[in-house]
Structure 1
Amino acid sequence: MEFERILKVVQEIINKEGEREEKLKRITKLLKEEVPHYDWVGFYLVGDEPGMLYLGPFTGAPTEHVKIPFGKGICGQAAEREMTFIVQDVSKETNYLSCSPDVKSEIVVPIMKGEEVIGEIDIDSHQISPFTDRDREFLERIAELVATLF
């Protein structure tokens, strides 16, 4: 895993001409392909309805969670508290929205524009405890880059 190399590719994707949705999709595909323990990679975006996240571009298995209120599940908690959430074992989490029995852990990083949450990066893994501080720092940097698209 070469996080620095991947960050450069993400920056190139963001700098190229094109639609935001397509850029976000390319980023999800890149992350899933390049990082072995990233089994589902997607964006949830804040829409017109306050306090609600909507599923954006993703790479991985389809999910029934296309709309998540702030505070609900890991995604909703990360948005509500405006902070990165890492859950190394989702079976031990009481406020968890299950997408698949294969998912064992999750990291969610809010995307901020100024003081406001505008979306988040959500990553599921089929392994228990795969996420490190390097993952957190890497994904928080990607969130900063993605925020420039909004």
Structure 2
Amino acid sequence: MSSTASPTAHRECATSRLIDAPPARVFRAIASPEHLARWWGPNGFSSTFELFEFRPDGAWRFTLHGPDGTDYPNHNLFREITPDRVLIEHLSDDHHFFLTITLTLEGTGTRVGWQQVFDSAEHRKQIATFVLPANEENLDRLTAEVRNVDWPMA
């Protein structure tokens, strides 16, 4: 009996969103640090980028500022970048994961896939109640920010 479930399904948090914009415009909201800083993170959070090397194996260091004033340093690596896929590794001893963002043309819009794969099912279970709604908030903020991306490109 075959299964269509992902082999990492027990370790992942995944969602998707249809955004009313072409994939290249959505990609630009990811690839541009000015746009990315405005939408990355859950509601109420802001970001300060220290290093942003948007290329394969490029580093991305930033601080998420929580609404309560708490700072959360982040260190990521862009592992893969294509016009329809960005793979990010979040480096952390206690919260390591891979995030794959996919961009697929659907009608006149873009289906944004958002898949985080954690190191263990236990870790996924511990953080899912925060991560699942936070991912939806990220996509809400991305959807709003895409409207601010100049289009078409000059």
- TM-score tier (shorter): 0.3 to 0.5
Task: Give the TM-score of the pair, scaled to structure 2.
Answer: 0.33
User: Which of the two has higher C-alpha Rg?
Assistant: 2
Task: Give the TM-score of the pair, scaled to structure 1.
Answer: 0.33
Name the structure with the higher helix share.
1
Name the structure with the higher strand share.
2
